[in-house]
A and B are shown apart, each in its own frame.
Chain A
């Protein structure tokens, strides 16, 4: 089903081609606009719909089980950090508008550059700890769980 591009809205910018996880959004050689090359490998994941700056890409449910006449549209706004959805039923009886956050922080500002943080000590390398641990496990002073700390041991083939 998949996705398709409206002839009058698509300007052939290729954002959908760039993002499609299934490599099925391609540029038509004659019309210089996007199209879905392989609808039966489309997951309806909406990655291309969300990426399209012209709102030119839409989805028409898989022909083998979805009747015509419905609509599920999305507008994703990175600046505002939200995605807006509109669902319209075939019979026109339901028209839902839904809004959800997509992030709580400005993009890229809160991920540290690990090249620049103090590197691990030899003791930490020899331990089972990962970056930011043990602090980030419980956000307190507790340590990493071990078999010993949890009073456990590995035994072969017991029933339980």
Chain B
């Protein structure tokens, strides 16, 4: 193939993926490394990339200590009860104590934050959320990152990390290709901050055909955060903790502002409140520690997201659907009606399009809700991601190995979806994590930890061959058939994605099985995943665009395999409403009040699983 090889050498900090996490890293790195070489490699265009490409109508993580609203430990308590106890409290506390300084900077840069006209403080949507006009959220933070970076490479799909050959388990940069020119790009770097995204589209979506793109998380979130790090042998945590979202049907429009600010509420198809009917039986499954409606009623303690999903799913399965959002009351107020529409236009335009197409005016009709297919990510109400070191002054010994947000691979850092055990970071928290990772990466370099890195020409050449293999495979076998996409020697990326989605759905608890799985199903699924892995060696790409889809699929496959392994390992149902282990339907704190940690051996592909202790900051909820 006649593609050029373009080498960028002598990089100190390589940011792989510049969504909110990556832009935070690039921005902050310049302060701690004023003379350092900072380079960004981004799969799309940094001005509209990542999960915030479309914009946001709220910042969901802001403490407001400035206004006396919340302290970092309040955030820890909130995120931990929402995730049924399974979080990295050191990382949560650390993010929460810095996140406000991030948000205050955003306001200075021009992001329109709404103010409460009475108090002068930011307009709260709920206890943690503040309302913004965030159509240009991403262009604004991108500008900051571009200002700090020496170079920004747009349209580079990073496929693999480079590894040091002088010292085991140390990162040395990354490689990938330009999705427009096809050129091969090599980034030799002392550290890498993975800011790539979590995974949409690894489970079969509810929609079919065209609508497959109307996923909740962006379709370009290809699990590359996990694919890259797993492939490099980094330990992962909580990968079983996939998330299911209760959202407006088909368009997946957000419900947060509706519930919290517009005070809309749900009811079943008979017009009844249904949630509380499911709580007594649910309490038997998870225990009073996790579901105590009375205590929740008296305090700010939320009913965990997954448990509310459980009530939703159970009510629908009992034949009393659909579940409606009661908007007809709130929408009589023209101001609230306008907010309801702006909310969609700011972050999920497709929902507004759908209501326009189906003549759903929420002022006169209560729209339907649904529960989505599962997603694997680490910054919303779920905490998939890499097992990372915490900060020195907070973390216990098991959680600390020298550098904040460093994975178990030396010099490899994470931010946003890439970091495990840190749910509820959202956009502002992901940016903050990027800042923390960047500071630590500078320290790592300054302390000489990146000295003497060796990358052989062979490693680079091997990766080059591997990257272009789908193009060559296509060329080799294309003319064995007359025309069309059916070929006995290969599958194309769409066909591979369909297979992955089908087997994740059926064996790993997707929508068509009401999120149910068990050990037998998981073992069958894992066998099929191995065979899919073999077929992915025979994936064919007709052009460079398909080559992009081929590598996204490989990253999705690696992410999905980790989900299988973790789901198999945790023998309990920790998050009913996200998924169910039918063979162990109860929450089991005696054996499973722990974090799950995995490592995939990069040479053999074998998984090893372990339990890691779950540390808490405080003994009791300070209610």
Contacts and interface: CB of A to CB of B under 8 A. Distances in A.
A-B complex is real: yes
Interface of A: 1-2, 18-23, 26, 37-47, 51, 59, 61-72, 74, 76, 83, 85, 87-91, 93-94, 96, 98, 100-108, 110-111, 113-115, 117, 119-120, 125, 128, 130-140, 142, 144-147, 150, 152-160
A147 B396 CA distance: 12
Contacts of A133: 98, 101
B32 A146 contact: no
Given A41-B213, A46-B349, A145 B97 contact: yes
A78 B512 CA distance: 44
Given A47-B53, A98-B342, A138-B65, A159 B289 contact: yes
B54 A45 contact: yes
B353 interface: yes
A7 B614 CA distance: 59
B28 A155 contact: no
Contacts of A47: 48, 53-54
A39 B353 CA distance: 15
B194 interface: no
Given A87-B341, A130-B101, A145-B97, A69 B439 contact: no
Interface stretch (B204-212, B469-477, B528-536): B204-212
A45 B48 contact: yes
Interface in B9-54: 27-28, 30-32, 34, 43-45, 47-50, 53-54
Given A64-B208, A76-B135, A156-B613, 6 more contacts: A23-B155, A42-B210, A62-B213, A72-B345, A89-B361, A108-B143
B53 A45 contact: yes
A65 B54 contact: no
Which residue of A46, A98, A130, A144 has the most chain B CB atoms within 10 A of its CB atom? A130
Contacts of A120: 31-32
Contacts, number: 298
Interface stretch (B105-113, B223-231, B460-468): B105-113
A1 B207 CA distance: 12
B453 interface: no
Contact of B616 (A76, A134, A158): A158
B70 to A, nearest CB: 11
A147 B394 contact: yes
B337 to A, nearest CB: 9
Given A45-B54, A147-B394, A160-B289, A103 B359 contact: no
A62 B396 contact: no
A47 B470 CA distance: 30
Which residue of B43, B179, B617 has the most chain A CB atoms within 10 A of its CB atom? B617
A41 B391 CA distance: 39
Which residue of B356, B393, B439 has the most chain A CB atoms within 10 A of its CB atom? B356
Interface string B88-112: 0110011001101100110111111
Nearest to B404: A128
Given A45-B54, A98-B338, A105-B110, A139 B179 contact: no
Contact of B356 (A40, A62, A70, A147): A70
A23 B112 contact: no
Contacts of A61: 350, 353-354, 356-357
A22 B213 CA distance: 10
A47 B214 CA distance: 15
Contacts of B110: 103-107, 110
Contacts of B616: 154-158, 160
Contacts of A157: 593, 613-616
B73 A152 contact: yes
B112 A137 contact: no
Interface string B434-468: 01100100010010000000000000000000000
B617 A89 contact: no
Nearest to B546: A38
B484 interface: no
Given A44-B350, A157-B614, A94 B356 contact: yes
